[in-house]
């Protein structure tokens, strides 16, 4: 491959990773942070529900502004099916590690939190709202709901 073909390939590969796949979401009580945007690999704003393919890893990116300092942040993820929240297993629930965020978090700064959500083969094909919380001492720094469908 010549270098320009390689460049095009690299850009396509980065686009595939989903860094620009902004989705529709609802705020479910971000008390300490203000969410700017949420992106999920393979989804976009034209989809009323983000399609998450089973047996893949989805990449989730949450951009938010911190309104308080924090030494730590913990990720808690649930799939809400017909009002019942079911915990999602996250390989890494420390939102300050391998996430693009370094703690401590400073009030007034903008952060981009990047995480992998394994969509396991054993999950049922259901309509679900992905509830993603970033918690500081048990309080919601960030809480968002992503309307989704497991396929
Ligand atoms: C998802 O990511 C994990 C950790 O990187 C990896 O072990 C696993 O094989 C991936 N699963 C799929 C379906 O790609």
pLDDT in tens, 65-118: 999 999 999 999 999 999 999 999 899 999 999 999 999 999 999 999 999 999
Higher pLDDT, residue 13 or 32: 32
For residue 107, report the distance from its CA to the centre of ligand 1, in Å: 34
Return the pLDDT at 17: 53
With a 6 Å cutoff on the Cβ, whether 55 touches ligand 1 is yes
Q: Whose CA is nearest to atom 14 of ligand 1?
A: 56
Protein residue with least CA distance to atom 13, ligand 1: 56
Domains and CATH numbers, the chain: 21-150 (2.60.40.770)
Task: Quickly state the pLDDT bin for 8 (edges 50, 70, 90).
Answer: low
Whether 50 and 149 have beta carbons less than 8 Å apart is answered as yes
Helix (H, G, I), strand (E, B), or coil: what is residue 29?
Answer: coil
pLDDT tens-digit readout, 18-50: 456 999 999 999 999 999 999 999 999 999 999
């Amino acid at each position: 491959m010549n270098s320009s073909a390689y460049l095009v390939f690299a850009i396509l590969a980065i686009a595939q990773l989903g860094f620009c796949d902004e989705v529709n979401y609802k705020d479910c009580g971000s008390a300490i942070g203000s969410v700017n945007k949420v992106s999920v690999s393979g989804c976009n704003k034209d989809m009323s529900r983000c399609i998450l393919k089973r047996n893949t890893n989805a990449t989730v990116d949450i951009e938010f502004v911190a309104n308080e300092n924090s030494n730590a942040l913990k990720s808690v993820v649930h799939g809400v099916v017909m009002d019942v929240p079911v915990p999602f297993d996250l390989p890494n629930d420390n939102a300050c590690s391998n996430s693009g965020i370094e703690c401590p978090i400073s009030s007034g700064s903008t952060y981009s939190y990047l995480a992998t959500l394994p969509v396991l083969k054993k999950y049922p094909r259901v309509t679900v709202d992905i509830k993603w919380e970033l918690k500081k001492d048990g309080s919601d720094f960030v809480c968002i709901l992503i309307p989704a469908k497991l396929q």
